[in-house]
Amino acid sequence: MATYTLLEIWKPRPEWYALPNAHKRKFIGKIRETLGTLDQSGAKLLGLWRCRATSEGGWDVMAYWQFPSFQAIEELIDGNEKFGWNRYFDQKNMVGKSITAEEWCSASEIDTEL
């Protein structure tokens, strides 16, 4: 069965820094709740990396996820938008479907899409 990967990079927007600490704590509380429910969908957060000093563009954090379906990724992204993630953080995402090295080699030999 194929798995899907989500690679996120993000950095705070000026709106985050302007937010009072009490509101930041409440917002982070929502993130904790969301993370707690993602296990039920089969999502796994495989790691978080602080990367500000080493990334072009000042990206602050990178997250690496594994999901059982593309729909589960869409649900996470939709949920983030609903509670205002994009208001406070600039984010870029990359999504990929797992393939074997042989699948990639075979497709690349005949110039086809996977």
What is the model's pLDDT at position 114?
57
Rounded Cα distance, 55 and 52, in Å: 6
Q: What is the per-residue burial (b if ≥16 Cβ within 10 Å, else e) of 74-93?
A: eebbeebeeeebeebbebee
The pLDDT score that the predictor gives to residue 38 is 82
Q: Which residue range forms the structural domain that includes residue 62?
A: 4-109
Structure confidence at residue 39 (pLDDT): 79
**Domain assignment of residue 114, yes or no:** no
Count of domains observed in the chain: 1
Q: Is residue 21 a part of any domain in this protein?
A: yes
Query: What's 85's domain CATH number?
Result: 3.30.70.1030
User: Looking at the domain assignment, is residue 25 inside a domain?
Assistant: yes
Q: Please, are residues 8 and 91 in contact by the beta-carbon 8 Å criterion?
A: yes
Mean pLDDT, contiguous 10-residue spans, the chain (114 residues): 88 95 94 83 91 78 93 87 91 92 83 60
* pLDDT value of position 32: 87
The reply to whether 64 falls in a domain is yes
Instruction: Please check whether residue 30 lies inside any domain of the structure.
Output: yes
Q: Is 72 helix (H, G, I), strand (E, B) or coil?
A: helix
This prediction has a pTM of: 0.80
